[in-house]
Amino acid sequence: MVKRRVVVTGYGCLTPLGKDPDTFWANLVAGKSGAGPITRFDPCDFPTKIAAEIHDYDPEDYLDAKDARRMDLFSQYAVIAAKQAFHRAQLHEDKWDAERVGVMVGSGSGGLAMIQQEYRRILEKGPNRLSPYLAPSMLSNMASGEIAIALGARGPSAAVVTACATGSSCIGEAMRAIQYGEADIVLAGGTEAPITPLGLAAFSKIRALSRKNEEPAKASRPFDRNRDGFVAGEGAGVLVLEELEHALRRNVPILAELIGYGVTTDAYHITSPRADGEGAAGAMRLALRDAGLSPGQIDYINAHGTGTRLNDWIETQAIKQVFADDAGRVPVSSIKSMTGHMLGAGGAVEMIASVQTLNTGLIPPTINWEEPDEGADLDYVPNVARRKECRYVMSNSFGFGGHNVSLIVKKWE
């Protein structure tokens, strides 16, 4: 069977750098940080008191009040991003077969805010006062379900959950669904709302978070010698993936072509990546093979780059394994230096940034990179965006549990 070609015809996002794709991109290439003191709750008892929050957010600016009340924050973000993507792809203007339109949007943590709120209600008022919305709203698949309801998409719907690789996994599996004829259009991506006392405490307990509370904007520093953990971020990213001939018949702008997907599992440790980097390297090799490319053809790598000591070093070594003599040539940057680590949403938002790089000729920087670390000696595009015309971009995502995903997107020609 000949695999069908898959293109990107729309995208939408809510991020700490902006609540729409244009604002997000403008702040990204300007090198702005979305990190600051936590305002969602009082973090005085926590070792980490900073995060990359979405500010000035009122769900009723985007959603019907009744609909918003039944959704956890992660689902609200997902529906809003999906509606943005839907409109950018001009699907609101076209007739389409609902049974050929799918949704694949996942979340690493699901409804943390609703879980915490309702557990407090049980303790204070008893189980009879529990919200009837808790059972559905806390589930990680509910973002896909809510998007399908909002848009009327009756094709294949699912939520692939691979922790911090979730958004990229959903994009890759949506790509496969279109390639093999299961759908013509899939809204794919990830969403996360982890900035709650429970979420912050959980990541603090394993010392994954930066404790540079005095200078939040400088706390997320991937690949820098003085990195001490990631800054938690929140938001959603959703892309419209579409079969090429279907998009051409609709006569809509094509933003990029998705051509490579590689996935592996470390089978090593619940949080730490394999020390030899072979799992990450394997995903990159598989993506290159799927795309029919050699390493030397990749023009830019949008790195996972969390700012944790182990992850950044191992990703660097994995890139060196795969790219060999080309490793020092290809620019590598991490937008998590600005967005914070959006967990399950990260890979999807990073794919949107990758598509923007193809279309603008701008590579976003790794801000806060000031001092090289031993063995971390690639071109990390430090502090200032770089102009470079790119034809092929690789985007990497790695998640707790040993999940490794690499995607390759091509400039539309």
Active site residues: 164
Q: Which helix (H) or strand (E) holds 77?
A: helix 73-88
- Residue 188 has, within 13 A of its CA and on its CB side, a CA count of 32
265 phi/psi in degrees, rounded to 5: -130, 135
Residue 60 burial (C-beta neighbours within 10 Å; 0-12, 13-18, 19+): exposed
Angle value at C-alpha 175, between 172 and 178, nearest 5 degrees = 155
* 8 Å CB contact between 28 and 338: yes
Amino acid at 110: G
Q: Which residue has the tokens 């809509």?
A: 252
CA distance 23 to 390: 22
Q: What is the 3-state secondary structure (H, E, C) of 141-154?
A: CHHHHHHHHHHCCC
Q: What is the DSSP letter of 53?
A: P
CA distance 355 to 169: 17
147: left (phi over 0), alpha (psi -120 to 50) or beta: alpha
- Residue 70 has, within 13 A of its CA and on its CB side, a CA count of 12
**Helix/strand/coil for 76:** helix
CA distance 161 to 110: 10
Q: Which helix (H) or strand (E) holds 12?
A: strand 6-14
CA distance 51 to 209: 9
Amino acid at 296: G
Sign of the alpha-carbon dihedral angle for 9, 21, 167, 299? positive
**Helix/strand/coil for 408:** strand
End-to-end CA distance of the chain: 25
Amino acid at 368: N
